[in-house]
Amino acid sequence: MKKSIDSSSFITPFQLKELIAWMDGGSITLYLLDGNKTEFSVEFCQKMILKEWAGTNIPGSFLLDGQEVSIRSDNEKQLLQALRGMSIGHLTSLDKSIIQESIAFVESEEYLRIATLMGRWPV
């Protein structure tokens, strides 16, 4: 597992540049700018097909710039809080719902259940 990136260096509020919905069972990638115009990405990986495939992200993962965010860490909490407060006014109501549901999933018990099944929790 790659070392988690520390999100505390990012300046809020975040601005969403682009949302990509993948056709893999539910992954979404958010391309963002922080308050210093630093570009980065956040990915909520699919959670429908609970099998690891070579060259793909672990199902149910929450990634920052392609690296796993440590589960229930301060880093995770800060990042989710900043995502809740980001500027998303230009999105459709469906896209806004997708983001809100993704954030809620990472905060849920189901996230921990899937992380346990995939060998990511506890560490």
**Tens-digit pLDDT profile for residues 43-92:** 999 999 998 888 889 999 999 999 999 999 999 999 999 999 998 878 99
Is the pLDDT confidence value at 116 over 60?
yes
Is the pLDDT confidence value at 5 over 70?
no
Q: Is residue 2 part of a domain?
A: no
- Residue-averaged pLDDT of the chain: 91
Q: Is residue 91 part of a domain?
A: yes
Number of structural domains in the chain: 1
| pLDDT given at position 1 | 42
Q: Is residue 102 part of a domain?
A: yes
Pairwise CA distance, residues 6 & 18, whole Å? 22
| pLDDT given at position 113 | 96
Q: Is residue 123 part of a domain?
A: no
Q: Is residue 3 part of a domain?
A: no
The pair phi, psi for residue 103, each rounded to 5°, is: -60, -45
Range of the domain at 15: 10-117
